[in-house]
Amino acid sequence: MWDVAMTTPTPERTQAKWREIATLAEKLAERSGSRTGFVVAPGSRLAGDDLRCDPYHVSHAVQTSITSAIDHLHALCALVVQSGFLHLAAPATLARGVLECASTAVWIASPTTRDERIARALRWNITDVKDGDRAATGAGIPVPTSLQRRKDKIEAVATKCSLPFKPISGGYTSSEAVAATETFLTPPLGVLLPWRLSSGFAHGRRWAMVAFADQMRQQATTQVGVVHLKMENDLTRVLFLGLAAAQVVKGAVALFDQRSTAP
């Protein structure tokens, strides 16, 4: 278990922390790529969830979210550690993907009751089919099965599980998942702040760049009242996002292992 604290952020210590994150990402990527990496044991909580809400398995939603988070974390390390170029916004965009996907896994798997885990997995599936339908119809691509038909299938499972469909039908949001994960995991670096900061970079928001940039240098311009700024990043500042992302992934994986192991 490695520590997120770093009392004096020297270049050497910063690089050592990045190597730790990269090592974690590599191990998790190997696990994710294995057929036995994220299996659900018979008799476990997730196995019981899956039997009740087939074919919209809770474990499938959790596994998909975790493996996506791992993929983003691995890409973040490759970009920062191996590319030889430190981007201003791109590392934050990848960190955002890690935080959102890992938080979604935690949000689904964290409830202590089976009903709530199933309800959240069904909400995840509602958002999945809505997003897919919107993407296809917006591009003029024919959809073999209508959105309503797919929603009806999810509603049938909710009814079978004696769960009210109205709160399920609205799907879920990443902000809900992130907030719930911060409450559940209470990680040292938080979840909401690094997610909001990462989202600011992903959307090209000025506040994020100005607040987070390591250096801002004015450049000459011929426009009256206009100042051009050159912003630069550094490994220590990006490390905050890398550590925050890594700690949430670790929490999501630990929760999966707990829920997927038979007593």
Report strand pairing: 215-219 vs 228-232: antiparallel
In this structure, what DSSP letter does residue 88 have? S
CB 143 within 8 A of CB 133: yes
pLDDT of res. 2: 45
Count Cβ atoms within 10 A of the Cβ of residue 147 and give its class: 0-12 exposed, 13-18 middle, 19 or more buried: middle
Q: Which long-range contacts (CB under 8 A, 24 or more apart) does 65-68 make?
A: 65/101, 65/102, 65/104, 65/105, 65/108, 65/124, 65/252, 66/32, 66/38, 66/101, 66/102, 66/105, 66/249, 66/252, 66/253, 66/256, 67/32, 67/38, 68/97, 68/101
Task: Report the predicted TM-score, pTM, of the whole model to 2 decimal places.
Answer: 0.91
Residue with tokens 């995840």: 124
Phi, psi at residue 218, to the nearest 5°? -75, 140
> What is the rounded end-to-end Cα distance, in angstroms, of the chain?
24
In this structure, what DSSP letter does residue 144 have? S
How many helices (H) and strands (E) are present in the chain, helices listed first? 11, 2
pLDDT of res. 136: 96
Cα distances from 235 to residues 2, 166, 199, 209, 241, in angstroms, run 18, 46, 19, 15, 10
pLDDT of res. 8: 64
Question: What residues contact residue 42 under an 8 Å CB cut-off, 6+ apart?
Answer: 262
pLDDT of res. 37: 95
Task: HSE, CB side, 13 Å, CA atoms: give it for residue 10.
Answer: 4
Cα distances from 203 to residues 90, 127, 207, 212, in angstroms, run 11, 21, 11, 14
Q: Consecutive 10-residue runs of the chain (263 residues): their mean pLDDT?
A: 57 91 98 96 98 98 98 97 89 97 98 98 98 96 95 98 98 98 96 96 87 58 58 81 97 98 95
